[in-house]
Amino acid sequence: MKKTFTFRQSDLEQADKCLESLRLKYSEPIEQPYTSDLARGNAVHNAIEYVGNEMIRSGEVPSWDEVKPIIDEAMLIECKLVEDWRTSPEETEETIQNNFEAWYWEVFPHLSPIAVEQEFNVLLDETKDRKIHLSGTIDWIDESGLILDWKNPTRPYQRWEKVRWDNQSTVYTYAVACSDGNFDERPFQLVMLCKGKVHTIDITRGPRDWEALKSKCHALADLIDANLNSYPQGWNSWYCSPKWCAHWSQCRGAHLGDDPQW
């Protein structure tokens, strides 16, 4: 019987940050507090999802007066859930409002969605003893063929970094290629909404990227198959700190404590 591995793009991101953190995420899961960063991203995402679905359903562009109560409600729901305020409630709410408004007036007028929050589970590769699947959810697929993802970071990402090693663009373009059977190169756009300003990074992915993805996923599957008690630790990642790594106290933090004095 073939062994099946299913990877999400977030698993590949986690593996890039630190392989050991990926192993711990599944072997010793830790519930993390709901942060204001998550609330900010989810509120804006949910409102955009509503607008996109509304446009697909009605064929009409919802007016600002129609969508304003949607972001207000999404913000209230998300902010009530916050357990860890990384930015103050006032700043979080202001950023949610500004980011959504920037998206509505500057990004949305250029788009016409054919799918939003599109789930997928596609076969990436099959060998004599293994199948590798990719699964996930695509924020927005546009009529133009552009695949979009919304981010709400505190500052824009570096273009060269995303073009060089972003996994999401590779996974999502492959998933859409599987759905329509066209395996030519495809455009992907990261839209970063940062304190009410819009930044974008355009990335093109195609067959060579997807072959490289197969190789990367097989390497990860080999590692999982080896049934090791630990994986290599990624100390040189920004993620390896008490602030970001949920498993810090079980790993480096067991030796360095919660305040490593860097």
> In the complex with ligand SF4, which residue's Cβ is closer, 186 or 252?
252
Whether 215 contacts 172, CB under 8 Å: no
Is 25 or 216 the residue whose CB approaches ligand SF4 more closely? 25
15 binds ligand SF4 (CB under 6 A): no
CA distances from 172 to 36, 115, 177, 258 (A): 27, 13, 9, 37
Nearer to ligand SF4 (CB atom), residue 18 or residue 147: 18
User: Does residue 240 bind ligand SF4 (CB under 6 A)?
Assistant: yes
Q: Could you tell me what percentage of the chain is helix, strand and coil, using 3-state DSSP and rounding each to the nearest 5? A: 50, 20, 30
> Alpha-carbon distance 169 to 250, whole Å?
32
Give the nearer residue to ligand SF4 in terms of CB position, either 165 or 235.
235
Decide if residue 11 touches ligand SF4 (CB under 6 A).
Answer: no
Provide the minimum distance between the beta carbon of 209 and ligand SF4 in the complex, in angstroms, as a whole number. 26
Where are the extended beta strands (E) located within the chain?
3-8, 113-126, 130-142, 147-151, 186-194, 197-205
Among 12, 18, 75, 107, binds ligand SF4 (CB under 6 A): 18
Q: Using the rule CB under 6 A, is 248 a contact of ligand SF4?
A: yes
Half-sphere exposure of 116 (CA within 13 A, CB side): 18
Residue ranges that bind ligand SF4, judged by CB under 6 A? 18, 20-21, 24, 233-235, 239-240, 245, 247-248, 251-252
